[in-house]
Amino acid sequence: MSSKKSIDVQNYRRLNVTNVVIQFLSRLQFFYFILIITNIFIITLKAQNWEIITAKFSPETDYMWYADAIFLDENNGFIFESSPGRIWKTNNNGNNWTLQHESQNVHFYDAFFLEQNIGWVAGSNGLYQTLDGGEIWTLKPFNKRIYSVHFFDRDHGIIGVEGGIFETLDSAKSWGSVNVNIDGAINITKIKFVDDNIGYAMGYLSDEFHILKTNDGGKNWSGKAMLPHFTGNAYHLSESGEVILAGYAGIILLNTNLEVLKILEIGLINDLFFVDNTNIWLVGNDGLVLRINNQLEILDNYSFGNDHLFSVSISNDTGIIFGLSTTGAPLLYKFDLITSVKQKEFQNINSNPIELSTYPNPFNSQSTISFVLDDVSEVNLKLYSITGELIRTIGKGTYQKGNTSLTFKAGNLTSGLYLFVLEIMPHSILQKQVALKKVLLIK
């Protein structure tokens, strides 16, 4: 690691706990005391310990004409270099990179991973597929440039190309065009699905930029033209359903009918990472790093000189930003997210979407924390005091889909109210979910 930057980024995630009823049995006076609390907990994520990663490449390289990166977790990631088309992999947090594939006169544009070992890269001569974590990449030829790719499973995939959108049902052995309700052959540059049915696509038609939407898994698409200088590079859906679109001139907020709600012109944005409605990270040219909310309000703005930053990802409280310097040298920035909890009074509370249960509660020596995972997920369960002090990490790691239970032993903790904070990052959507649970320890 090389020099560290003294940067503090404040992230505020608001999470609701309502009508928490705790039955407290007093051993001295032998009566029940019922405490009803209605409040809000603000989890503050401080991005600290920023580092410029002194990455080593094998074979050595100090120049990339254009490249993008995708990180599957805090350790495993890929760089997709264009002209020549090269694929690099790291398994140690970006410190060391190994060249896995090289194709002369090929450009790479996009990548999608179904799981840790199964992924696809969109290229100028077809689709490249790996089934072994990148050790072998197999070309699936296509007669047009493929700009974007999404797969629902190993066989069923969607690609955005010069001239439209195509679908495969046999693992890219054959392709068929889908219905795009626009007059003319549109060049699709980005495709992303919210679930198996709802997806969005962006592209050019003449000098107009269009955004499209599908509600049936990509069979049929319709949309509308947007401002031409807002060509889309990345987008995501907020927790309340709005589309946040990032592009050449800044960001646009759209409703679910693709109507413009707000525009923020801030320069070229290359990528965004959605944590929640108050923690959306953007990176772009001229070293731009922003944190915004779902109303396009800038909460933090930080500069990394004149570097071009192409991707940002956050996993297990670790963030990584990839870019290129003005001389074309690859750059990687790493930061840690430090969590604390504050409590404030609040009204009009909504219920928490994640079911987190503890038994028994109140408890004396140990309690079992249970929750259900919809997918293979990175899980981080922590215990805080009621004033927001981190007590300990109870469980952290990769957990399988289904019912999960963790046992917490109180040890030498004193009697009182405590707060379990559960953070879940499903592998399939890369969007963090958080749940809170108050517990009462009686000794």
Any idea where the domains of the chain sit in the sequence? 50-327, 357-443
pLDDT of residue 315: 78
Percentage of the chain surpassing pLDDT 90? 31
The pLDDT of residue 56 is above 90: yes
pLDDT digits (tens, 9 = 90+) for 219-237: 999 988 776 555 666 667 6
Cα separation, 308 vs 323, in Å, equals: 5
Average pLDDT value for residue range 255-279? 84
Strands (DSSP E) contained in 267-329 are 269-276, 279-284, 288-292, 298-303, 308-315, 318-324
pLDDT of residue 240: 63
Contacts with 189 (C-beta within 8 Å, 6 or more apart), sequence order:
109, 147, 148, 160, 202, 203, 204, 231, 232
**Highest CATH level, class, for 50-327:** mainly beta
Contact call for residues 137 and 121 (beta carbons, < 8 A): yes
Average pLDDT value for residue range 249-253? 84
Percentage of the chain surpassing pLDDT 70? 79
Average pLDDT value for residue range 387-400? 82
Average pLDDT value for residue range 381-387? 78
How would you label 262-300 residue by residue, b for 16+ Cβ within 10 Å and e otherwise?
eebebebbbbbbbbbbbbbbbbbbebbbbbbbbebeeeb
Which one, of 272, 410, 419, lies nearest residue 352 by Cα? 419
Contacts with 375 (C-beta within 8 Å, 6 or more apart), sequence order:
401, 426, 427, 428, 429
Q: Return mean pLDDT, the chain.
A: 79
Within 13 Å of residue 77, how many CA atoms lie on the same side as its CB? 25
The pLDDT of residue 23 is above 70: no
Q: What is the pTM of this model?
A: 0.67
Residue 40 Cα to chain centre, angstroms:
25
Q: Higher pLDDT residue, 198 or 4?
A: 198
Domain 50-327 and domain 357-443 have a common topology:
no
Cα separation, 425 vs 434, in Å, equals: 9
Tell me the residue type at 207: D
By mean pLDDT, which of 44-53, 260-269, 390-399 is the weakest? 44-53
Average pLDDT value for residue range 156-176? 96
CATH 2.60.40.2550 fits domain 357-443: yes
pLDDT digits (tens, 9 = 90+) for 288-342: 988 888 889 988 887 677 889 999 988 777 889 999 998 999 999 987 766 555 5
